[in-house]
Amino acid sequence: MQGRRHGVRLLLTLLVLAMLQVVGPAASYACACGAMIPSDESARSAGELGLVQWDGKTETLDLSMVVQGETKDAAWIMPAPKGTRVTLGSDGLFDRLTDLTKPRVEKRYNYWPSFGGDDDRSGDGAPRAGGAPGGVTVEGHSTVGPFDVTTLSGTDGSAVTTWLTAHGYPARPDLVPAMQAYLDQGWRLYAVKLTSRGSTLRGTLSPLRLSFAATKPVYPIRLSHHARYRQSVVVYVAAPHRMELDPVTAPRSTTTDVPFARWVDGAAVGGRGGERVFLTKLRQSVDPQDIQADYTFRSTAADTQQQDVRYVDVDRSWVTWSVGVLVLLAALIGWLVWGVRRSSRPVGNVG
């Protein structure tokens, strides 16, 4: 009896462990392009969407976080160069980009009858500018649509973390080295808060737009190295030529999928209509540990256009069946005619 009870306890323990593996721990803090913090522990960052527009001198970065679950408000940290201008992005931008870059549909006609089987072919109050704890300076605060944005600079990543913790951001000492690296570059850290204003935040959040001078396009993602979950990253790059992720900054063991790379009108990405830009869509499912640097991009050797294709099978087996039936009917009619003629042939006299 005691052995049986021990076996039941062991089985229950294994079941509990299995459930914990499936459900996973609740996340109160996850990283994306910046470090994102939903206020509700049942919600977490599921990924990010970014549009990088670069004309050779200036970069405009539209960034939208994707929340899995629901939360009343969220906050994140975004690094960017000194002098960055922060404005509100266009709602629906990434829905339009998704539609623009969706796979091209091609019909594939099937004339051979199918005889069964499955075949899936689907390709807090606003802080005041000025003094702060030593090593960090609050350069300014602004309200951008539903976003409250505070600009931080300084020389000490630990001091920045202390400031963030004092203003409602969870303590994350593991981010100090990455923040320090940005400060050493002369970059600024933008502390952003977004509230739902009576409803809840879920899915793709409103985009925020950052504009700054850049000698080459860059996507600040280094803080995502400290994310707790695998991240889905989709980056659109609109530039004078086709762009690719620079191997020097690419994740070590992550494959970058390029489902779309074509010339488009600038208006399609929020730019000037009548001007052509080359839009490249890059997609990753990346292990945070593989992210070691901000993504930078370079021109490819040629502006080769490509687009994923989704095949739609059109059943034309009725044509084959019809032809088969006609052939059989013709054969039957021919056989009948031959039989009739043979039976009506005169029989010769005997003797």
Query: How many other CB atoms sit within 10 Å of the CB of residue 163?
Result: 22
Q: Which of 29, 34, 31, 147 shows the shortest CA–CA distance to 91? A: 147
pLDDT of residue 231: 80
Q: What value, to the nearest 5°, has the Cα angle with vertex 173 and ends 171 and 175?
A: 105
Q: Do 78 and 222 belong together in one domain? A: yes
Do both 205 and 233 map to the same domain? yes
Q: Which residue has the higher pLDDT, 8 or 50?
A: 50
| b (16+ CB within 10 A) / e for 317-340 | eeeeeeeeeeeeeeeeeeeeeeee
**How far is the C-alpha of 235 from the C-alpha of 270, rounded, in Å?**
15
Do 181 and 157 reside in the same domain of the chain?
Answer: yes
| DSSP H/E element including 78 | strand 73-80
pLDDT at 226 over 60: yes
Residues 213 and 342 in one domain: no
| Residue 289 within any structural domain of the chain | yes
Is 76 in a helix, a strand, or coil? strand
Structure-token match 């099978």, residue found: 313
Q: Is residue 7 part of a domain?
A: no
Q: 245 and 333 share a domain?
A: no
- How many percent of the chain have pLDDT more than 90? 37
- With tokens 């091209």, the residue in question is 104
Q: What is the pTM of this model?
A: 0.72
Q: Does 9 reside within a domain?
A: no
State the pLDDT confidence band at 320, using cuts at 50, 70 and 90. Answer: confident
**Backbone phi, psi, residue 267, to 5°:** -60, -25
Most confident of the ranges 160-174, 199-213, 251-265, 327-341: 251-265
* Mean confidence (pLDDT) of the chain: 77
pLDDT at 62 over 50: yes
Does residue 33 register a pLDDT over 50? no
pLDDT one-digit tens code per residue, 133-161: 568 999 999 988 878 899 999 999 999 98
Instruction: Check: CB of residue 210 under 8 Å from CB of residue 86.
Output: yes
pLDDT at 131 over 60: no
Task: Classify burial at 304, counting beta carbons within 10 Å of its beta carbon; exposed 0-12, middle 13-18, buried 19 or more.
Answer: exposed
Q: Where are the alpha helices (DSSP H) in the chain?
A: 2-23, 93-100, 157-166, 176-184, 317-343
pLDDT in tens, 77-111: 889 999 999 998 888 899 999 999 999 887 766 76
Quote the tokens at residue 261: 């790379």
Domain count, the chain: 2
Together in a domain, 304 and 335: no
Whether the pLDDT of residue 31 is over 60: the answer is no
16-25, 28-37, 131-140, 245-254: range with highest mean pLDDT: 245-254
Is the pLDDT assigned to residue 179 strictly greater than 70?
yes
One-letter amino acid of 78 = M
In a domain? residue 123: yes
* 99 lies in the same domain as 50: yes
Residues forming a β-bridge with 76: 36, 192
pLDDT band, very low/low/confident/very high, at 113 (cuts 50, 70, 90): low
Classify residue 16: in a domain, yes or no.
Answer: no
Q: What is the Rg, in whole angstroms, of the alpha carbon atoms belonging to the chain?
A: 31
* Least confident segment among 13-27, 91-105, 198-212, 238-252: 13-27
pLDDT at 351 over 70: no
Which SS3 state, helix, strand or coil, does residue 232 take?
Answer: strand
Q: Is residue 20 part of a domain?
A: no
Q: What is the pLDDT of residue 180?
A: 94
Is residue 190 in a domain?
yes
| 85 domain residue, yes or no | yes
Q: Is the pLDDT of residue 311 over 80?
A: no
- Do 232 and 306 lie in one domain? The reply is yes
**Residue range 254-308, pLDDT digits in tens:** 889 999 999 999 999 987 778 899 999 999 988 888 898 999 999 999 999 999 9
Are 107 and 147 found together in one domain?
yes
In this structure, are 210 and 334 located in the same domain? Answer: no
CA distances to 113, 116, 325 from 322, rounded to whole Å, are: 11, 19, 5
Give the best-scoring range by mean pLDDT among 127-131, 192-196, 228-232: 228-232
**Cα 129 to Cα 135: distance, rounded to the nearest angstrom:** 15
- Centre a 10 Å sphere on the Cβ of residue 191 and count the other Cβ atoms it contains: 24
- Domain span at residue 340? 316-346
pLDDT, residue 49, reads 86
**Dist. CA 1–CA 7, nearest whole Å:** 10
Q: Does residue 320 sit in the same domain as residue 310?
A: no
Asked if 208 and 252 sit in the same domain, the reply is yes
The Cα 169–Cα 28 span in angstroms is 10
- CB–CB of 297/50 below 8 Å? no
